[in-house]
Amino acid sequence: MVINKWIRRKRNSMGYGVQSPNDFHFVQHVLREKLPYYAYSTLKEFSRDLSHHHPSNPAAIDQLLFRLANHVHPRLMIEVGAGTSALALSLACPTARCVAITEDDALNSSIWEHATRDLQIEVKTGDEMGIFHQLLHEHQKIGMLHIAHTSRYREIVEAALPHVTDDTLIVIEGIRESKEKTVWWEALLESPSTVICYDLGNVGLLFFDRSRHKNTYWINLKKLV
C-alpha cells in the first residue's frame, strides 16, 4: 500500500497519470508554477513585519494559497485557525470578503491592522466553531476555506460539507502532523463527499464538482513537505 502510493505520487508529480486536461493545467500552472506573481514581494514584506508579533507560515505555503485563491476567485474566503495567510488570500482576491477566525488576540495588534489596512480582511476572535457556524448561517455557501492551525479541523470540515458547491475549495494544512490527523485525512479521500482531491505531502486540497469522476492525485511539492 505504501509502495503503491509512493509510485502514484512519483508518477503524478511528473504530470503523468493526470488524464484530465483541466487537472493537468491545474497541476502545472497553479500547484507547480514557479514564476513569481506580482504580490509575492508584498507577501514577503508583510510576513517579515508580522513575524515578530505572530507566527507566520512558510513563504511556500502563503504563495500556494495566493495561487489557489487567484485560480478559484471565490466571493467568500474563510481561514480558521488564522495565522498570517489571510494576507495571501486577500491579496489574490482583493474584492472578495475574507474572514480570519482565530483564538489568538495577537492578530488584533496594531502591526496587523497596519498591514491589512488596504485589504478586505475581517478578524474575528473567539470560539472558532461558534464564529464559523455564524458565518455559515449568514452566507450558506463557501467559496474557499483554509483550515490552518486549529485542533478543530474535523468539526470544521463536518460543518462545512453541507455548504459546499461545485466551485468550493477546501485547503487543509498539516495533514500529516499527527497519526490521528493522517488517518482522518485518508478517510476523507475515500469519502463520497469529496470529488477531486490533491495530496501535496502536508497540505490537502478538496474540490466538490459533482460533474466530475472522483479522483485523487498525489503531487510531490518539495517546499511543502
User: DSSP secondary-structure letter at 28?
Assistant: I
Do 106 and 83 touch, CB atoms closer than 8 A? no
C-alpha cell at 133: 457556524
**pLDDT for the residue numbered 54:** 57
Amino acid at residue number 80:
V
**pLDDT for the residue numbered 9:** 46
**pLDDT for the residue numbered 119:** 76
pTM of the model: 0.87
Q: Residue 68: enclosing H or E segment and its boundaries?
A: helix 59-72
**pLDDT for the residue numbered 6:** 42
Q: Which residues of the chain are modeled with pLDDT < 50?
A: 1-4, 6-16
Distance CA 60, CA 77 (A): 19
Q: Residue 160: enclosing H or E segment and its boundaries?
A: helix 153-160
pLDDT 10s digits, 134-161: 999 999 899 999 999 899 999 999 999 9
pLDDT 10s digits, 77-93: 999 987 678 888 988 99
C-alpha cell at 219: 503531487
